[in-house]
Structure 1
Amino acid sequence: MEEWHRRSVLATGAALSVGGLASIGVGASETDDLPNPELDPNPEMADEDWASYRGDAGHARFIPDGYEFDGDLEAAWTVDHDGSVAVADDTVYTTTADGVVALDAADGSLVWENTDVDAGDPAVAGEMVYLNGGDIVAIDREDGSVRWESDLDPGERTSSHTVAYDGVFVVVDGTLYALEADDGSVRWQRDTAVVESRNGDEQESEFTPGPAAMNGVVYAETQYGVLAFDPATGETIWQTWHWTGGDALYATETAVLADLPGEELPFYDAQTGSGLGLVGPYSTGTLGNESVLSAGDYGYGSTSIHGDEYDWELDVTYTYGQAVISGETVYVYFWADAHNYGDRDYDQKLVALDKRDGSEKWTLSKDDAPVGHIRAISGETIYVDHDGELVALREETDADEDGADEDGANGDDEQDDGTEDGDADESDDSDSDDDGRGDADDDGSSGDENTSDNESSNDGGADDESSTDDSADDGSRNESGSSDDGNAGSDDDGSLEDDGDAGSDGENTGTADETENETTDGGDGDDGEDGDDGADDGVPGFTTGTGLVSGALGLEWLRRRVDADEPAE
């Protein structure tokens, strides 16, 4: 881990627990213990990769332990929305020309829409989504209703905001406000700040847009410098001077980057405010714990925050792209605004680079897939802007291929033949007893491969062909799949199967000759578990009409029946 260069008080002062700062009353904060990288801005969102419109409260487009994509990506779904994106609890929040929408992350279907809110840059925390534009607006995550709206009466549209430490921090008409996240009331405000210049002169000025939060503090910028504030009281923790104000700040546990006009941008130690270096002015705003990514007219590269382990540069000219650092990889959609005279032509390509040395892992051209500028990365999905549309890109999965080739064929066999003997029976029984029930208990998916079989057999494959469009039209996808099962199966493998129907489809995996009792048992709707029992009672090859094929098969069936009747743990 990088050396923190913390203040000496961190070695002696008692560290605040995660989330502890949020419970400290105004005026009671122990500022000597700040900054503290152990203080998560939003602990309840710690498991989310992209809960705010630029990733998290630091706005750094950085996911420390993100998923590693292999480059074999395809469009899982596409919607005609072009706003910034936040993702939380398998729901995508974004904005449209008409308002704010929540989409099911599994298939892009509409969960809710609010056409009365003219705002953008969604940030999710707790039970609400916070947006800026005019006044700050907080809307309910469940139904999109407005919970509160600030009364700051901005003279112009508000700048980007950050949600952290139970507060919403935003600059409006030069004033830095800290609002209470639960009701929008003003916790504190700072109209101006004084920064001491390098020659000892004190410079007072208003704030410029774009605060960020990390390490238990809020970072904000004036015309003459960057400051770190106690989010509970507004007390200054440290300040550092620079020559002109900018448009935004980006923060991680180790560094703060100032997005300034000019030829070079400074970045600072997040704990002390001391200067660490300069980077190129283009494609900025991507900052990790180890490095800063940026571009100039004659190269695109990485600058180490400490040392030189992450220093590298691509030999490209007039090529830009705002990246995301996820895990060990840099993902960036490159575009060139003029001729590229370097060795690598990355114009209109989604590229994965090793974050340590910049070596290419894979590329995906716009000619081959609907790629574009990255709006978010969450779990196993990359959300991109492709010609004004929001596209969810996911890797092809074995379940998708099996559902189209193998499982679909098996489903047709069961539909046509009713019952099968020999090896076919053993395969079907094994899948039902071992895989189907295990998957249902673990993640609610009831096994996507088996679900594909069942849907093909019972529904004629209609779900496979129309799940996305139909769910978007009538909302049924959200009522069944999202609410009941949490879309665990869809999120895991990128499938658009409706998990909400998996249990009901699983109820009918047996033959058409199932008894009335078996049908009743399968109809309990217990996410496919009872459906599996129903399927066991109607074992292929052992129905009233056919009897036992042979003594050996009968014994084998009885053994399996005893196993199936064992009480579930």
Structure 2
Amino acid sequence: MVEHDRRRVLTYSGLALVGGVLPSGVATADTDEASSLLEEANGWSSLGGGPGNNAVVPAGGPASPVTVAWEYDHGGPVAVVDDTVYLTGDGAVHALDAADGTLEWKTKPIGATGTPAVTADHVYVGGERLSRIDRTDGTICCQTDLGYDEAIPSPAIADGLVFAVADGVLYAVDARDNEVRWHFGPEEPLYEQPVAVADGAVFAVSESQAFALELEDGTVRWTDDEPVGDDEYSHFTSPNFRQVSYPVASEDVVAVGNIDSEPAAVWPSGYATLYDTETGEKRVSGDRGPYTPGAIADDRFYARDSHNLRGYGRDAGEREWETAVSTYHVSSAAVGDGTVYAGLTISGDSYSSGETPEPEVGVYAFDDETGETEWAVDTEGEPELALAGGTLYASADTLVAVRSEDDDGGEEPADGESSEDDDGDDTTGEGDERGSDDTTGEGDERDGDAGNESDGPGDDDAGLNSNAESNVESDDDESEGMPGFTAGAGIVGSAATLEWLRRRNDDEAE
């Protein structure tokens, strides 16, 4: 096991932390109607498509021949809900019409990063703060300061709670009033990476421990402190500059990655392991190599390392699938009906002159039985993927919407017609076909004990400030300020804020 220096605990950027799981101190009535509004919406609603980060879409995506239906001049992580695409880019959140890519609204820069998480009414995004945005017009409702100087990772939403890790502590924030319902801060800080939610539990990872926490109150369901492998340097996979790693969960298993290489290894290797979500029992691991968990399908799970994307049988962990092209790096992947989609860079050194598959960088669609290429599209940068409504959204320097040629995706602009965002950037609406069908190549083979009790901020000195304001970027750049409120003020402050919003909206409507 890795020996590491214990980071400071009990003090997190000025937040006073105390022992135990701490409720928010605000009693809120739970009704079916309220709960339905707070659940993640249908579609690709957050990182990996939902709170489990599990990028499996049974309905599938575009089939060959494909076309780029539209392109937007900004790139960034994407969520897609109810025919609207939500993109985080340049510190702002953009909302686009999924049919043609035209801009519906855009917030001013608020330090937003990571993939948005979308409910029926709101968009939540991490970054400098945990921000809640009105889906209708992009108004910033409130921002919760978790006392962390670096970026808060992509949030997950379940049961009316918004989950995010900041400075080694997992926070469960009530989506109704922005109060911290509970938090979990083990002695060894959690990785600042997205968590997964499934089967009534939240899954988070530190260097030497994997945790399953009860969604309702943050109590420990199980822990594992024995990463797979025999190497003395074995540890759970941390976020790194080459690829983001995080747990991926279905309703019965959660996939957690670990590295089994010495720190000096140029190309680390490790394992992706499936755990029983209820008991924490290790069910199966893939072969040594890929250490970043990917999608979990009915009969197979996927994993990536620095070079490869591979698929393994859920029963025995045997390698069943890999791409027919040789890849240098795979940035993201999603699984549809009979197809595996991947954002990647081809390994040009693996091919003779003139035989390198095209494009060298882009999004590829592979047959999920043979690994052969079905189609590929140049994205001029390694893309992150989202899959919704039969459209594959590939986001690199720009965002492109890839569809089957016979799928109009709704009403689209005429050829040559473009839309312009608030910065004056052109968003092309051209149906420029950039796909190249049947691009193939020959690939080569390359190679518990119970956790500590939660420590977190007290009700009175939490320092979690939630400020609501109209912050949508507009031509006149005029927006009326909204009185701030502090999460510790509870229902009274929240009610006053909501009443202020109602009156302002009534005034504007007159």
Q: Which residue of 2 aligns with 1:109?
A: 102
CA distance in 2, matches of 1:397, 1:123: 30
1:469 aligns with 2:423: no
CA contact (8 A) 2:286 2:318 kept: no
Query: What amino acid maps onto 1:333 in structure 2?
Result: G
CA distance in 1, matches of 2:126, 2:197: 16
> Cα gap change, 1:187/1:305 in structure 2, threshold over 3 Å: closer, same or farther?
same
Higher relative contact order (Cα pairs below 8 Å, separated by 6+ residues)? 2
1:206 aligns with 2:156: no
Pick one of 268, 286, 295 that aligns with 1:278.
286
Q: Which residue of 2 aligns with 1:143?
A: 137
> Cα gap change, 1:341/1:75 in structure 2, threshold over 3 Å: closer, same or farther?
closer
Q: Which residue of 1 aligns with 2:221?
A: 237
Kindly state the Cα deviation for residue 98 of structure 1 after the two structures are TM-superposed. 5.0
Q: Which residue of 2 aligns with 1:394?
A: 403
Q: What's the TM-score, normalizing by structure 1? A: 0.57
Q: Which residue of 1 aligns with 2:338?
A: 328
CA distance in 2, matches of 1:41, 1:334: 37
Q: Which residue of 1 aligns with 2:392?
A: 382
Q: Which residue of 2 aligns with 1:217?
A: 201
Structure ranking higher in strand proportion: 2
CA distance in 2, matches of 1:297, 1:94: 26
CA contact (8 A) 1:316 1:344 kept: no
Structure ranking higher in helix proportion: 1
Query: What amino acid maps onto 1:293 in structure 2?
Result: Y
- SS of residue paired to 2:399: strand
Aligned residues: 367
Task: Give unpaired runs (5+ residues) of structure 1.
Answer: 1-24, 27-39, 193-203, 401-444, 453-462, 476-489, 496-569
1:265 aligns with 2:305: no
Q: Which residue of 2 aligns with 1:134?
A: 128
Kindly state the Cα deviation for residue 353 of structure 1 after the two structures are TM-superposed. 2.4
CA contact (8 A) 2:184 2:218 kept: yes
CA distance in 1, matches of 2:357, 2:279: 40
Which is higher, the Rg of structure 1 or of structure 2? Answer: 1
> Cα gap change, 1:309/1:283 in structure 2, threshold over 3 Å: closer, same or farther?
closer
CA distance in 1, matches of 2:91, 2:128: 15
CA distance in 2, matches of 1:88, 1:283: 26
> Cα gap change, 1:281/1:320 in structure 2, threshold over 3 Å: closer, same or farther?
same
Task: Give unpaired runs (5+ residues) of structure 2.
Answer: 1-25, 28-34, 228-233, 240-245, 261-268, 433-510
1:93 aligns with 2:91: no
CA distance in 1, matches of 2:109, 2:277: 39
CA contact (8 A) 1:86 1:92 kept: yes
> Cα gap change, 1:380/1:471 in structure 2, threshold over 3 Å: closer, same or farther?
farther
Q: Which moved more, 1:256-265 or 1:215-224?
A: 256-265
CA contact (8 A) 1:318 1:339 kept: no
1:187 aligns with 2:185: no
CA distance in 1, matches of 2:305, 2:382: 21
> Cα gap change, 1:261/1:362 in structure 2, threshold over 3 Å: closer, same or farther?
same
Kindly state the Cα deviation for residue 293 of structure 1 after the two structures are TM-superposed. 2.0
> Cα gap change, 1:313/1:93 in structure 2, threshold over 3 Å: closer, same or farther?
closer
CA distance in 1, matches of 2:37, 2:255: 21
CA contact (8 A) 2:362 2:380 kept: no
Kindly state the Cα deviation for residue 261 of structure 1 after the two structures are TM-superposed. 4.1
Kindly state the Cα deviation for residue 137 of structure 1 after the two structures are TM-superposed. 0.8
Pick one of 229, 250, 257 that aligns with 1:252.
250
CA contact (8 A) 1:252 1:289 kept: no
Kindly state the Cα deviation for residue 254 of structure 1 after the two structures are TM-superposed. 3.5
Kindly state the Cα deviation for residue 329 of structure 1 after the two structures are TM-superposed. 1.6
Q: Which residue of 2 aligns with 1:505?
A: none
> Cα gap change, 1:339/1:97 in structure 2, threshold over 3 Å: closer, same or farther?
same
CA contact (8 A) 1:284 1:295 kept: yes
CA distance in 1, matches of 2:367, 2:38: 29
Deviations 1:146-185, CA, capped at 9 Å, x for gaps: 1121132113222332111211111111111111012221
Kindly state the Cα deviation for residue 396 of structure 1 after the two structures are TM-superposed. 1.5
CA distance in 2, matches of 1:381, 1:340: 31
> Cα gap change, 1:55/1:224 in structure 2, threshold over 3 Å: closer, same or farther?
same
Kindly state the Cα deviation for residue 46 of structure 1 after the two structures are TM-superposed. 5.9
Q: Which moved more, 1:125-134 or 1:328-337?
A: 328-337
Kindly state the Cα deviation for residue 283 of structure 1 after the two structures are TM-superposed. 6.4
Query: What amino acid maps onto 2:189 in structure 1?
Result: E
Query: What amino acid maps onto 1:224 in structure 2?
Result: S
Kindly state the Cα deviation for residue 370 of structure 1 after the two structures are TM-superposed. 7.2
CA contact (8 A) 1:42 1:165 kept: no
Kindly state the Cα deviation for residue 398 of structure 1 after the two structures are TM-superposed. 7.8
- Residue correspondence of structure 1 range 152-551 to structure 2 within 5 A: 152-192=146-186, 204-209=187-192, 210-241=194-225, 242=227, 243-245=234-236, 246-247=238-239, 248-262=246-260, 263-267=269-273, 268-275=275-282, 276-279=284-287, 280-281=289-290, 284-295=293-304, 300-307=309-316, 311-314=320-323, 317-321=326-330, 322-337=332-347, 339-340=349-350, 345=357, 347-348=360-361, 350-355=363-368, 357-360=369-372, 362-366=374-378, 373-385=383-395, 388-397=397-406, 464-465=414-415, 468-469=417-418
> Cα gap change, 1:313/1:285 in structure 2, threshold over 3 Å: closer, same or farther?
closer
CA contact (8 A) 2:39 2:160 kept: no
